[in-house]
């Protein structure tokens, strides 16, 4: 069935990436200023301000095993990352796996639902066989609980009394994103890592966090967001499934308090989620949808790629090579800067998703 995607996009009335808030035009000379403005708008209105990177950071190797991990093809390490924050200190564990066969390996920081390996969302051996190293942490037990408790973990360091005062104080997605950058602090200084092939990856709520992490931290050269939906890759205007109202009713603590004012009021938002994808430009973005993930809304994720994709032109790079219809399960649409696929099935981070992302990640 023919579907006019251009009409659909026009009907969404998305805010213009090519105009500054004061109405002046964005061009290739001032594009980095626009990127900073978009980051500011997103943090102020959606996620809250991500804390500054710490002045110092320590890494302590707690355990190493290079004998039997992935049939002996990988080196496994458990490290502890510690850094000062607000006159106090925060520390969390990360599990690392590096392929022995590669001198300088591409490296993915994976924010995950669990911190142990093996894990159903992480095909360790496939990653190792394709020469990719990775570091994983558990977003709740290692960082901060997935609830309204702002005393828990790093939240209690950021908010000493467990209370957020201003409307733009950061929520938990920003904290998970912040800690993904701390894992990169470790990786970036390792001899066996390729600094030009660094990625941050996550599924669903952690896909939202991964997108924010890469938008804020230019050391991530790639981001992989899987089924991230509302407040992730999917544009909110005209979105089906989960809306800003649904997500702020159920998970208000993921965001800054200002975001609530856009519930059933999306048209007033000074941004939409294509800003989040565009804020990673000129680096690379991969978005994965699942056909039966109606809550996330694959079409709104796809539209976001199309719209954000235009932004790469300002950097003299290719836009997203979209097709003028709704992608069907099995379609993989990869440009050199944005990749997208939709697979059959439900909300899940599958091997199919990883393999498609890895192809994009390893492309020369
Ligand atoms: C809920 C939530 C989504 C989120 C998902 C997940 O369904 O509404 O926004 O992406 O959980 O993290 O699995």
Which residues have C-beta atoms less than 6 Å from ligand 1? 204-205, 229-230, 242, 247, 250, 295
Interval 145-187: pLDDT, tens: 999 999 999 999 999 999 999 999 999 999 999 999 999 999 9
6 phi and psi angles, rounded to 5 deg:
-65, -40
Residues facing 84 on adjacent strands: 89
The reported pLDDT for the residue numbered 116 is 93
Distance 363 CA to ligand 1 centre (A): 30
Nearest CA to ligand 1 atom 7: 295
Marked catalytic residue, from 124, 152, 204, 214: 204
The reported pLDDT for the residue numbered 12 is 97
Interval 313-324: pLDDT, tens: 999 999 999 888
Q: Is 347 a catalytic residue?
A: yes
The reported pLDDT for the residue numbered 3 is 79
Mutational test site, ligand 1, from 172, 295, 301, 346, max ligand atoms within 8 Å of CB: 295
The reported pLDDT for the residue numbered 1 is 62
CATH of 5-362, one of 1.10.10.10, 3.40.50.1820, 3.30.450.20, 3.30.565.10: 3.40.50.1820
User: Which stretches of the chain drop beneath a pLDDT of 50?
Assistant: none
Interval 111-131: pLDDT, tens: 999 999 999 999 999 999 999
DSSP string, 106-159: EEEEEEES--SSSBTTB-HHHHHHTT-EEEEEEIIIII--SSS-TTSTHHHHHS
Q: Are 216 and 177 in contact (CB under 8 A)?
A: yes
pTM: 0.98
Domain boundaries, the chain: 5-362
């Amino acid at each position: 069935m023919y579907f006019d995607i251009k009409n659909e996009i026009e009907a969404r009335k998305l805010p213009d990436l090519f105009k500054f808030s004061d109405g002046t035009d964005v061009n290739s000379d001032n594009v980095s200023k626009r990127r900073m403005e978009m980051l500011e708008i997103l943090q102020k209105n959606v996620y809250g301000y991500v804390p500054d990177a710490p002045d110092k950071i320590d890494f302590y190797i707690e355990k190493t095993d290079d004998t039997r991990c992935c049939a002996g093809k990988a080196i496994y390490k458990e490290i502890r990352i510690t850094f000062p924050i607000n006159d106090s200190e925060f520390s969390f564990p990360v599990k690392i796996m590096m392929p022995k066969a590669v001198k300088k390996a591409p490296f993915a920081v994976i924010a995950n639902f669990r911190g142990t390996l093996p894990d159903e969302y992480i095909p360790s051996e496939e990653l190792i066989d394709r020469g990719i190293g990775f570091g994983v942490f558990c977003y709740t037990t290692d960082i901060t609980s997935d609830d309204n408790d702002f005393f828990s973990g790093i939240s209690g360091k950021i908010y000493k009394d467990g209370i957020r005062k201003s409307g733009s104080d950061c929520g938990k997605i920003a904290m998970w994103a912040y800690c993904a950058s701390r894992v990169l602090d470790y990786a970036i200084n390792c001899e066996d890592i390729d600094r030009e092939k660094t990625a941050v990856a996550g599924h669903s709520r952690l896909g939202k966090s991964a997108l924010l992490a890469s938008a804020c931290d230019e050391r991530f050269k790639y981001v992989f967001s899987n089924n991230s939906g509302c407040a992730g890759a999917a544009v909110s205007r005209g979105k089906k499934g989960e809306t800003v109202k649904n997500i702020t009713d159920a998970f208000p603590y993921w965001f800054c308090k200002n975001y609530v004012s856009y519930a059933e009021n999306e048209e007033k938002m000074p941004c939409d989620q294509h800003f989040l994808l565009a804020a990673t430009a000129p680096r690379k973005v991969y978005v994965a949808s699942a056909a039966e993930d109606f809550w996330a809304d694959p079409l709104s994720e796809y539209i976001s790629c199309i719209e954000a994709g235009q932004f790469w032109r300002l950097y003299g790079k290719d836009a997203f090579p979209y097709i003028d219809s709704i992608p069907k399960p099995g379609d993989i649409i990869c440009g050199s800067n944005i990749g997208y696929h939709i697979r059959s099935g439900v909300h899940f981070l599958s091997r199919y998703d990883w393999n498609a992302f890895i192809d994009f990640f390893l492309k020369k």
